Chains A and B, each alone.
Chain A
């Protein structure tokens, strides 16, 4: 869920290191590997189309291939690795993949829906250090949660997973994609997280599906409500301090971040999957150079966001424009409206 960002390590030295050395040398320090697109839930907002399990298994990277890729990314300087999906815990060899990543000295973040966490998995994770989980919590009641996931009993499974982690003091945070379906429960989820002493965040922009379907976008809450919730949850509007005018790609993707899909395609981010580089046909190092070329392309003179004063308030990016408008350059109306409201609110603060 969400785009590439450097994990907050809370360590000032590391932040200096990222700004002074990693960014300057364009080191791929922050990676995500989607080890499968299979998932046990059928979330209504998901940007990934459902997959046929057997076909997916046949095509997915094997454990050996994943280990080989992990060795290469470590060689090139990766330090933080998200293991994501689909639902990564659905793979039988998930713990083996996790172990390989840990033994290579990666800080691992497992992006999961939490429903497949068992005491056995948690006991194993507990032996390790420098990892955490990011659990998507879609609602705080069975009714809302399962309206999103489409699977009866999934709420109970998720809460069970959360309890298993809590009992063992395993570090995790909660994230919720904001939708009309769960809008009324966001503050309750925040309260729940607060009681448990867990970090919580929500994503206000629901993405179109990567196959071009805009069906999930119908679940977006009104722009005003999204910003209102931001203020209530975070006490401020969201700002993207890293954004600059006259650049097409502003995020970390292709500069210090990358993503790999379950079939070995190196991609810029979850939304930008074409063009890509097939790691089954070449090295990560070559692929990284390939991503860099995509990332550094300049916007055309006609680029509407070029001189926008509200760019630091805006969630839009070329990948989202591509999915929503079928080109890299046109502003995404929803993100644009939110940016204007954020800018306005910001003036009054």
Chain B
């Protein structure tokens, strides 16, 4: 299965907070990455974060990005995969799981 067919899932050990319209990720458990830090997401990052639900495939999220923002499919896919991999590194999402159902 290719990466874009996977369904990323939020790690329950990271809490997302919306403060002053900014999405901030707060890792709360020690086993989530090594970083003792909080992370702010930009507008596109926050949009992607909202779409990650463990059911949507990466390619579906890509289509939503293309609909929402002025960006080509190729660029959206490249940025999306990079972002989800960053989230995996900080423990924000569980390694993108296989497509559900």
User: Is B74 in the interface zone, CB < 8 Å from A?
Assistant: no
Given known A-B contacts A13-B40, A14-B38, A128 and B19 have beta carbons under 8 A apart:
no
Measured CA separation A132–B30 after assembly (Å)? 12
Q: CB-nearest residue of chain B relative to A127?
A: B30
Which residues of B lie under 8 Å from residue A77 when comparing CB positions?
A: 19-20
- Quick check: A25 and B20 within 8 Å, CB to CB? yes
Q: Which chain A residue lies CB-closest to B16?
A: A105
Of the residues B20, B22, B28, contact of A102 by C-beta under 8 Å = B28
Cα separation A25 to B24 with both chains bound (whole Å)? 16
Question: Which residues of chain B are within 8 angstroms of A10 by Cβ–Cβ distance?
Answer: 37
Smallest CB–CB gap between A35 and chain B, Å? 19
Q: A107-B26, A128-B28, A129-B28 are in contact. Are A9 and B38 (CB under 8 A)?
A: yes
Majority SS at the chain B contact face? strand
Residues of chain A in range 97-121 having any CB-CB distance to chain B below 8 Å: 102-107
A129 touching B30 by the CB < 8 A rule?
Answer: yes
A11 touches B36 (CB 8 A): no
The reply to whether B20 and A22 form a contact with Cβ atoms under 8 Å apart is yes
B residues within 8 A CB of A74? Answer: 17
Query: From residue B26, how far is it (CB to closest CB) to chain A in Å?
Result: 4
* B19 close to A29 (CB less than 8 A): yes
B12 to chain A, nearest CB (A): 10
Q: Are B37 and A17 in contact (CB under 8 A)?
A: no
Please name the residue on chain A nearest to B25 by beta carbon.
Answer: A105
A5 CB → nearest B CB, Å = 17
CB within 8 A of A171: which of B15, B19, B36? B36
Query: Is there an interface contact between B28 and A105, defined as CB atoms closer than 8 Å?
Result: yes
Residues of A within 8 A of B29 (CB): 127-129
Given A17-B20, A22-B19, A104-B15: A130 and B26 interface contact (C-beta under 8 Å): yes
Q: Is A291 positioned at the interface, with any CB of B under 8 Å from its CB?
A: no
A129 touches B36 (CB 8 A): yes
Give chain A residues whose Cβ lies under 8 Å from the Cβ of B39: 11, 13
Q: Any chain B CB within 8 A of the CB of A21?
A: yes
B8 contacts A by Cβ under 8 Å = no
Q: Does A317 lie at the interface of the complex (its beta carbon under 8 Å from any beta carbon of B)?
A: no
B70 interfacial by beta-carbon distance below 8 Å:
no
Task: Determine whether A126 belongs to the interface, using a CB cutoff of 8 Å to chain B.
Answer: yes
CB of B32 within 8 Å of the partner chain: yes
**List of A residues within 8 angstroms of B28 by Cβ:** 102-103, 105, 128-130
Within 5-28 of A, Cβ neighbours of B (below 8 Å) are at: 9-11, 13-14, 17, 21-22, 25, 27
What A residues does B16 contact at CB under 8 A? 105
Q: Does A79 contact B (CB under 8 A)?
A: yes
Q: Chain B residues with Cβ under 8 A from A104's Cβ? A: 15
B37-68, CB < 8 A from A: 37-40
**Nearest CB in chain A to that of B19: its residue:** A77
| In the complex, B92 has a CB within 8 A of chain A | no
Q: Tell me the complex Cα distance, A58–B96, Å.
A: 50
B38 touches A107 (CB 8 A): yes
Q: Are the C-beta atoms of B38 and A130 separated by less than 8 Å?
A: yes
Give, as a whole number of angstroms, the nearest-CB distance from B25 to chain A.
Answer: 9
| Nearest chain B residue, comparing its CB with the CB of A29 | B19
Q: Is B75 an interface residue (CB 8 A)?
A: no
Q: 1/0 per residue A157-172: CB within 8 Å of B?
A: 0000000000000010
Instruction: Mark B residues whose CB is within 8 Å of A.
Output: 15-17, 19-22, 24, 26-30, 32, 36-40
Nearest 8 CB-CB pairs, A to B? A105-B15, A21-B20, A77-B19, A105-B26, A13-B40, A129-B27, A105-B17, A102-B28
5 A–B contact pairs at CB < 8 A? A9-B38, A11-B38, A17-B20, A74-B17, A171-B36
Chain A contact residues, CB within 8 Å of chain B = 9-11, 13-14, 17, 21-22, 25, 27, 29, 74, 77, 79, 102-107, 126-130, 132, 171
